Amino acid sequence: MFLPPVIALHIPDGFLSVPVAAFGWLLLVAALAAALRQTRAQLGERQVPMMGVIAAFVFAAQMINFPVAGGTSGHLVGGALVAILLGPWAAVLVMTSVIAVQALLFQDGGLLALGFNAVNMGVLSALVGYTVFRQLSRLAGEDRGYLLRAGIAAWVSVEVAAAATALQLAVSGTSPLTLALPAMLGIHAAIGLGEALITAGALAFIRQTRPDLLQSHTAAARGSGWVAAGLVIALAVALVSPLASSDPDGLERVAIDQGFEELAQEPGYELLPDYTIPFVEHEALTTILAGVLGVLAVAAVTYGLARFVRRGQSV
Amino acid sequence: MNPVFRERYQQGTTALHRLDARVKLVMALLLALGVSLTPEGVWPVYALQWCLIAAVGAAGGLSAWRLGRAAAVALPFTLAAAALVFTTPGEPVARAGGLVITGAGLARFLSIVLKSWLAVQAALLLAMTTPFDDILAAARSLKVPDTLVAIVGFMYRYLYVLVDEAQSLLRARAARSAALPGKPSGGSLRWRARVAGGMVGSLFLRSFERSERVYAAMLSRGYDGRLRGFAPPPLDWRSAGWAALPVLLMAVTVVLAFVFRSSA
Amino acid sequence: MSHHSIEVDGLCYRYPDGRVALENVSLHVAPDEKVALVGPNGAGKSTLLLHLNGVLRPAAGSIRVAGLPLEDRHLGQIRAAVGLVFQNPDDQLFSTRVYDDVAFGPLHLGLDEAEVRARVATALDAVGMSAYADRSSYHLSMGEKKRIAIATVLSMSPQILVLDEPTAGLDPRARRQLIGLLRGLEQQTMLISTHDMRLVSELCSRTIVLDGGHIIADGPTQVILSDDALLERHGLERP
């Protein structure tokens, strides 16, 4: 459709409005502060070289692809795999390093957009992937369907990252949500399948060769489930509200009709561009999105501060 | 150097190469920020910004052509914004299939493409004239947490080592992938995924075990959990002043853009 | 005995999975002695070497290095005294620049910057790699990497050098250069684990044979290397 798979999820600069990009950085800083604190407590001095080499592994593993069907090929993003292997907070640091190097070294993703790129593919995919995996384990039991659980977690992690990307593009006024969201989710449903298969395949190999590496990381996962749930609920609210408030039938027809019936009302430059989707009540939508972003921003800052204060006390 | 990934860095001794990486990092960020802050549809201002970035590039021995071509990496992503051509309200200028392209939509789309292209060039001013080590050192002295900088440093050190390993795995798979005439090759999807997954899994184990040996090598040279490095050299404020000029000019173009917009 | 010496008595070690790696290993190396440690793959050579500066800790037995018992409070001093050169230089050279790798040890000894820089310069000069300070190790040849790996411990001014397969993976010329380099390092006690029997006969006056976690033989190199039956039994060969 509009988004061939080559695009993947690395947003270049220019596609996110400045406030949206800044908000991404804010979220990233809060998530990194939490992740650094957690990994320091859990892994000790061994963590740094290990996470660095594993970040290089993710980069290299993304080259390994396999033909799925009809000329498309499956390959790895890696967030869920690393989260299952090292625990969610270490995975946040590993994946963020991967995204940062891709941006700095190969211009794969922008500098200003690095905040949300890392949040989408680093923080969200690792935390959500891990949480889904843990919750499924709780439901199904630790021993049953290990690889299936991992595959589902990997698939969900990619879809969530794709949905988040679509949302950020929509809020920035770069791509209408009703087109971007289904397109992103549709394409990444297929990409996620590759992710799921490789994640499961890799875990199958590791389970056979070094089963000792697959202990659970319940201690190293502290707080990750809550943060993941919070992020996903915020995303879901933001996504569902505009769709729920408009007639889903004939949505596209309305878009096209209005596309030329409405005269151009050039919006001046505004902080949150009021343009999002021309065919639903923009004001309501913008309000909802702005509200969600605001809540997230406050939550992120509060969380970061709480961490900071607690660290000050414990030292 | 691994042929698959070409780093952007070009060796040189130009003024831009010699500029303190900390200053250059902030400059590149501010230039990209300026481009992003510029509103849509201000074509003359984009031209000015392009001249400005090209001029800084020239100070680094980078031709506008090379900079522009290297910045084309971001162009495929512009398809993500392509729908705007149809969905932005405005005067219809053309029809494609059943869809109507509006003038406002076209302007909006082209603005995004141009701004993205300019912002990537701003980032390239840093990447093409600064060794990655210096970018890392700059990030550290700009208060990026040490742990994070160290992780990225280790990642960079082992990036190509592991890319080489991944490629030799891929070559080994290719060497054993044969097809007989008239027979389907490659096995079932499940089998193919299992092979690829096995490659990823074995690459992970090798990486993990390597990280344990690296850790042992660090321990044996006195690592106690705290990474130490040289103190950063003092900042040369004269060079920082030099770099402020393009940033100021960028700010002027952004102001111009708003003036231009409100008068148009 | 004090400085420059290694004293291992009754060392036992098991791998995490329970297999015995070393059993009742005792060896003493006198100051400035150059000793070879030979034996087939899996004999426990690398495991033994990793004990010498406390990366691994013995399950039983005692280790004294440079006159100090291997205990937590001496760990810093012991690691400064023992320069351990790993088999794969890609593990040893973990920094992005050669210079930073050579500086890593002295920096973590807590030396001041001027002293660190002086030591880096001396160490790079000693291995003939001064011109490579700003290079990244990924781009170097195996021989160059091995020499820089040695510089990364020389910069710590160790009393004892412990080398794991220093000539493995080298072409003949790089191997000759490396042996020449090691021969020039006269002030350090050396324990070299290797399969390279010509290196043994050229550099080491004494040879220890390790197999299956046990010390099989320990004596003058000429005696060990002329005992064909012994060499045959433990998968070794004459130079």
Place of tokens 């390994």: A64
Can you give the C-alpha Rg of chain B in angstroms? 24
DSSP single-letter state for residue B186: S
Which among A69, A74, A64 is positioned nearest to A191, based on CA atoms?
A74
Outline where chain A has alpha helix (H): 18-43, 47-61, 79-86, 88-106, 114-118, 125-140, 146-171, 177-209, 224-244, 251-261, 282-314
Residue A268's contacts (CB-CB under 8 Å, 6 or more residues apart) are B39, B261, B262
Look at residue C171 and tell me whether its pLDDT is greater than 80. Answer: yes
CA nearest to B169 within chain A: A64
Per-residue pLDDT for B3 more than 90? no
Give me the residues of B, 193-212, that contact C with CB < 8 A.
210
**Domain, as residue range, for C60:** 6-233
Q: Is A265 exposed, middle or buried (0-12, 13-18, 19+ CB in 10 A)?
A: exposed
- Smallest CA–CA distance, residue B101 to chain A, in Å, is 8
Determine whether the interchain pair A205/B198 forms a contact, defined as Cβ–Cβ distance below 8 Å. yes
Cβ neighbours of B119 (radius 10 Å): 30
- How large is the ipTM? 0.91
pLDDT at C94: 94
The nearest CA of chain B is from the CA of A64 a distance in Å of 7
Residue C118 is predicted with a pLDDT of 96
Please check whether residue C43 lies inside any domain of the structure. yes
Pick from A15, A68, A201: CB nearest B80? A15
Contacts of B218 in chain C (CB under 8 A): 94, 104
State how far the Cα of B81 lies from the Cα of A2, in Å rounded to an integer: 9
Whether the per-residue pLDDT at B153 is higher than 50: the answer is: yes
Provide the residue type at A66 as one letter: F
Q: Measure the CA–CA gap between A302 and B253, rounded to whole angstroms.
A: 37
Distance between CA atoms of residues A87 and B161, nearest Å: 25
In sequence order, the 6+-apart residues with CB closer than 8 A to the CB of C114 are none
B42 touches chain A (CB under 8 A): no
Q: pLDDT value at position A272? A: 34
Q: Residue window 224-243, chain B: list those with CB within 8 Å of chain C.
A: 224, 228-231
Q: Considering the domain boundaries, does residue C225 fall inside one?
A: yes
CA distance B29 to chain A (A): 7
Q: Give strand pairing partners of A34.
A: none
What's residue B124's pLDDT? 94
Q: Which residues of chain A have pLDDT under 70?
A: 1-8, 43-45, 68-73, 216-220, 236-315
Residues 147 through 206 of chain B touching chain A, CB cutoff 8 Å: 147-148, 150-159, 161-163, 165-167, 169-170, 186, 189-190, 192-205
- Min Cα separation B196/chain A (Å): 6
Q: Give the model's pLDDT for residue A295.
A: 54
Q: Is B258 on the interface with A (CB under 8 A)?
A: yes
**Of residues B74, B89, B202, nearest to A278 (C-beta):** B89
Q: Does B216 touch chain C (CB under 8 A)?
A: yes
CB contact under 8 A, A60 and B87: no
User: Per the domain annotation, does C66 fall within a domain?
Assistant: yes
How many CA atoms are closer than 13 Å to the CA of B149, on its beta-carbon side? 19
Select from A18, A12, A116, A174 the least CA-distant residue to B71.
A12
In sequence order, the 6+-apart residues with CB closer than 8 A to the CB of C124 are: C98, C99, C102, C130, C132, C133, C148, C151
Give the C-alpha separation, B159 to C207, whole Å.
39
pLDDT at B184: 58
Q: How far off is chain B from A40, nearest CA to CA, in Å?
A: 9
Question: Nearest CB to C79: which of B210, B221, B229?
Answer: B221
Q: Which of A198, A257, A260 to mutate to test the interface with B (most CBs of B within 10 A)?
A: A260
Shortest alpha-carbon distance between residue B97 and chain A (Å)? 12
pLDDT at A115: 94
Identify the CA nearest to C92 among candidates B227, B214, B156. Answer: B214
Structure tokens at C75: 């760990």
H or E, element range at C202: helix C197-203
Cβ–Cβ below 8 Å for B217 and C94:
yes
Count of domains forming chain C: 1
For an interface test with C, the pick among B152, B157, B223 (most C C-beta atoms closer than 10 Å) comes out as B157
CB contact under 8 A, A57 and B204: yes
Give the model's pLDDT for residue A7. Answer: 43
Query: What's the Cα-to-Cα distance from B105 to each of A174, A251, A264, B260, rounded to whole Å?
Result: 11, 19, 9, 20
- Is residue C2 very low, low, confident or very high in pLDDT (cuts 50, 70, 90)? low
CB C194 within 8 A of CB C200: yes
| Spatial CA neighbour of B101 closest among B118, B89, B112 | B89
Residue whose C-alpha is closest to residue B135's, from B247, B25, B249, B259? B25
The verdict on a CB contact (< 8 Å) between B216 and C86 is yes
Residue of A32, A53, A69 lying closest to B148 (CB–CB): A32
User: What pLDDT was estimated at residue A234?
Assistant: 72
Residues of A with Cβ-Cβ distance to B81 under 8 angstroms: 15, 169, 174-175
- Please give the C-alpha separations between residue C148 and each of C79, C93, C119, C189, in angstroms, as whole numbers: 19, 8, 13, 19
pLDDT of residue A70: 58
Residue A126 backbone dihedrals phi, psi, to 5 degrees: -70, -50
| Neighbouring C-beta atoms of residue C62, cutoff 10 Å | 13
Interface contacts A/B by beta carbons within 8 Å: 335
Residues of B in contact with A179 (CB under 8 A): 83, 87
pLDDT for C41-63, tens place per residue? 989 999 999 999 889 999 899 99
- The residue of chain C nearest to residue B153, with distances taken between CA atoms, is C96
C50, C54, C156 member nearest B221 (Cβ):
C156
Residue B186: the pLDDT is: 60
3-state class (DSSP) for residue A253:
helix
**Chain B residues with beta carbon closer than 8 angstroms to that of C80:** 222
User: Looking at per-residue confidence, does B58 or B90 come out higher?
Assistant: B58
Contacting partners of chain B (3+ CB pairs under 8 A): A, C
Answer whether A4 sits within 8 Å of B202, measured CB to CB: no
Q: Which residue of B has its CA nearest to A201?
A: B197
How far is Cα C81 from Cα B222, in angstroms, rounded to an integer?
A: 11
Instruction: Please report where in the chains the tokens 């003024």 appear, as a residue.
Output: B15
pLDDT, residue A258, reads 38
Q: Which residues of A116-135 are buried (b: 16+ CB within 10 A; e: fewer)?
A: bbbbbbbbbbbbbbbbbbbe
Tokens representing residue C201 in the block: 């006969």
Residues of chain A neighbouring B148 (CB-CB closer than 8 A): 32, 36, 93, 96-97
Residue C1 lies in a domain: no
Type of residue numbered B150: A
In degrees rounded to 5, what are phi and psi of residue C57?
-115, 140
Query: Which residue among B8, B104, B198 sits closest to A201, beta carbon to beta carbon?
Result: B198
| Chain A residues whose beta carbon lies within 8 Å of the beta carbon of residue B37 | 18
Chains interfacing with A (3 or more CB pairs < 8 Å): B
Residues C91 and B217: beta-carbon distance below 8 Å: yes
CA angle C170, C175, C176 (to 5 degrees): 160
**Separation of alpha carbons B113 and A158, rounded Å:** 26
B93 touches chain A (CB under 8 A): no
| B260 in contact with C, Cβ within 8 Å | no
CB–CB contact B214 C156 (8 Å)? no
pLDDT at B210 over 90: yes
DSSP H helices, chain B, are 15-18, 21-37, 43-59, 64-70, 84-87, 103-127, 132-141, 146-176, 189-220, 237-263
pLDDT at C10 over 90: yes
Q: Which residues pair with C38 in a beta bridge?
A: C209
pLDDT single digits (tens) B81-103: 887 888 788 888 887 777 788 88
Beta-ladder partners of A155: none
How far B237 CA lies from chain C's nearest CA (Å)? 23
Q: Which residue of A has its CA nearest to B29?
A: A111
Q: Do C107 and B217 touch (CB under 8 A)?
A: no
Per-residue pLDDT band at B183 (split at 50, 70, 90): low
Buried b (16+ CB within 10 A) or exposed e, B209-218: ebbebbbbbb
Which chain B residue lies closest to C158 (C-alpha atoms)? Answer: B221
User: What is the pLDDT averaged over residues C183-190?
Assistant: 90
pLDDT, residue A257, reads 39
Nearest chain B residue to A39 by CA: give it.
Answer: B147
For chain B, give every domain's residue range: 1-175+187-264
CA distance linking residue A256 with residue B72, whole number of Å: 31
Look up the CATH number of domain A5-242+274-314.
1.10.1760.20
- pLDDT top residue among C127 and B90: C127
User: Has residue B161 got a pLDDT over 60?
Assistant: yes
Report the share of chain C in percent with pLDDT over 70. Answer: 99
pLDDT of residue A279: 35
B102 and A260 within 8 Å at the Cβ level: the answer is yes
Angle of the B43-59 helix axis to the B237-263 helix axis, nearest 10: 170
Q: Residue C214 sits in a domain of what CATH number?
A: 3.40.50.300
Contact call for B221 and C86, based on CB within 8 A? no
For C195, phi then psi, to 5°, come to: -100, 0
Put simply, whether B217 touches C (Cβ < 8 Å) is yes
Mutation test of the interface with chain A: which of B87, B109, B128, choosing the one with the most A Cβ atoms within 10 A? B87
